[in-house]
Amino acid sequence: MCSLREHGARSTTASIPEQRVQIMQSAVRSLRADVLVVGFGKGGKAVAAAMGRAGKRVVVVEQSDQMYGGTCPNVGCVPTKALVHRAHARRPSDPPQDWYERAIGEVHAITSLFRKGNFDAMTEDVGATVLTGHAEFVGPHTVSVDTADDRVTVEADHILINTGSTPVIPDIPGLRTSEYLVTSTDLIHRTVLPEHLAIVGGGYLGIEFASIYRQFGSRVTLFESTSRILEREDDDVAAVAEGILVDEGVNIVTGANVTEIRDGAGGATVRYMNDGREHTVAVDAVLAAAGRRPATEGLGLAAAGVRTTSRGAVEVDEYLRTSQPHIFALGDVNGGPQFTYVSLDDSRIVLDQLLGDGKRTTADRVAVPRTLFMTPPLANVGLTEREARDAGFRVKAASQPVAEIVAMPRAYVVGETRGVMKFVIDVDTDEILGAALLSVDAQELINTVALAMRHGIKAGELRDSIYTHPSSTEAFNDVIGAVVRSDDG
């Protein structure tokens, strides 16, 4: 989870001063800016802050006053990871509904704090003008913003599109009209714990929510259309992850074709085909977890001459420039990896265009890690063993169950010995090609591995480094040592 500083939290007062927003909005009809940011997300706000501090006139437009700061602090990483922590802290004797309702309240307090902090930092510290309303391009340099009080026309030299992404609702009969359909955003705003939650989609989002709500006390059925969850992972790693979820009580149905959602009194019936037979299950909430798509609808991109891809993302080059060189697209909306930290790196590329020497590109990214926040978390970087072999590398794989890693007593100290650690190493060069860490602290450990990969640190050096004790990092001594002999050159 990101820090208070990361999200601009500065005050314990939760509410945004709406009167101040309205006065500011009603006082303008047209604005001239050096930089206009459409969407108050991670990448856009980072560029806006830097440009404002550089003395530029900055305008930021956000469609909702509940989204100041973007997806991560409001409906993404902060609330979901806060729920991971609170769900894991529930004891068997704690009433599920009471614990859940309290957890949701605590999470909302955090997101409100971050939201206000982001708004105050942008308006007071940076000096930017924030408009709350729907933005639509009316020309290559001009955007019209419909606020609650009026319409504001903003003309800018440079424009950043940072509108993020929206949940994909699968085209399943009855799903989109179901009273019991929820998105991840809907679910974290509900104070009533679902008794039985159906999750359609076994990707990162689906698995995270399956783990969260099962630990809160819901029954959870996860439907995945492919033959197993985590298809990108090596079979051995995926099997351990699936085993953890199953042992916790998550019902995972793979090879499932959900054919219909039918509402009834007090709940919905999920119909699905599996192994050539039709099955049904009664639930009281259906989470659509089929991924997210770039949020470009209603932006009027054609009026600006901005092209989109076949998947609906804003088309960009390696410098994140759109088909209009003065317009950039950052974060999920440009079709890249949907991670907050990638959006932050997008901001570095754009700032290098606006204030630097313009050399930084998306091609500079090497060994970008990712984490699935089940419990314990699964973090990855680089190639899997299968991918490395398919690419022609001569590979040695180092893999150990966490419970058997002698040099990792921290796992026993904190009572979380489930999981596995795996490294994929090039036989010829001793370079780390990839790693999959399913363990306590994996979301932190993977950053060390990624840094080593970026700087060409060999597996033997990572194996023989000195780490604090007891820590999770010292597991590298044992795991890599399983295949890299101490006398390797």
Please give the biggest Cα pair distance in the chain.
Answer: 73
Can you tell me whether residue 113 is helix, strand or coil? helix
Q: What is the pLDDT of residue 482?
A: 81
**pLDDT, average across residues 345-372:** 96
Residue 177 has pLDDT above 50, yes or no: yes
pTM: 0.89
Residue 98 has pLDDT above 90, yes or no: yes
Q: What is the pLDDT of residue 341?
A: 92
Residue 130 has pLDDT above 90, yes or no: yes
The boundaries of every CATH 3.50.50.60 domain in the chain are 18-166+293-364, 181-290
Query: Domain spanning 18-166+293-364 has what CATH number?
Result: 3.50.50.60
pLDDT higher for 75 or 397?
A: 397
Name the CATH superfamily for 370-481: FAD/NAD-linked reductase, C-terminal dimerisation domain (3.30.390.30)
Q: What is the pLDDT of residue 484?
A: 53
Q: Which residue has the tokens 């989609």?
A: 201
What are 436-449's pLDDT values in tens digits?
999 999 999 999 99
pLDDT higher for 158 or 25?
A: 158
Q: What is the pLDDT of residue 428?
A: 95
Query: Is 196 known to be catalytic?
Result: no
The three-state DSSP-derived secondary structure of 48-108 is HHHHHHCCCCEEEEECCCCCCCCHHHHCCHHHHHHHHHHHHHCCCCCCHHHHHHHHHHHHH
Q: What is the pLDDT of residue 70?
A: 85
**pLDDT, average across residues 373-385:** 96
Burial of 329: CB neighbours in 10 Å, binned 0-12, 13-18, 19+: buried
Residue 28 has pLDDT above 90, yes or no: no
The pLDDT confidence band at residue 76, using thresholds 50, 70 and 90, is confident
How many Å apart are CA 345 and CA 453, to the nearest integer? 18
The Cα angle at residue 200 between residues 1 and 217, in degrees rounded to 5: 60
Residue 21 has pLDDT above 60, yes or no: no
Q: What is the pLDDT of residue 19?
A: 46
What are 410-431's pLDDT values in tens digits?
999 999 999 999 999 999 999 9
Can you tell me whether residue 419 is helix, strand or coil? coil
The boundaries of every CATH 3.30.390.30 domain in the chain are 370-481
At how many degrees (to 10) do helices 340-354 and 42-53 cross? 30
> Taking phi first (over 0 means left), then psi (-120 to 50 degrees means alpha), and beta for anything else, what does residue 172 get?
beta
**CB contact at 8 A, 138 and 147:** no
How many Å apart are CA 161 and CA 336, to the nearest integer? 14
Residue 58 has pLDDT above 50, yes or no: yes
Residue 104 has pLDDT above 70, yes or no: yes
**CB contact at 8 A, 449 and 462:** yes
**pLDDT, average across residues 472-484:** 88
**pLDDT, average across residues 134-154:** 95
The pLDDT confidence band at residue 35, using thresholds 50, 70 and 90, is very high
Burial of 181: CB neighbours in 10 Å, binned 0-12, 13-18, 19+: buried
**pLDDT, average across residues 175-185:** 95
Within the chain, how many helices (H) and strands (E) appear? 15, 21
What are 210-241's pLDDT values in tens digits?
999 999 999 999 999 999 999 999 999 999 99
Mean pLDDT for all residues in the chain:
91
Q: What is the pLDDT of residue 71?
A: 83
Q: What's the CATH fold of domain 181-290? A: FAD/NAD(P)-binding domain (3.50.50)
**pLDDT, average across residues 370-398:** 96
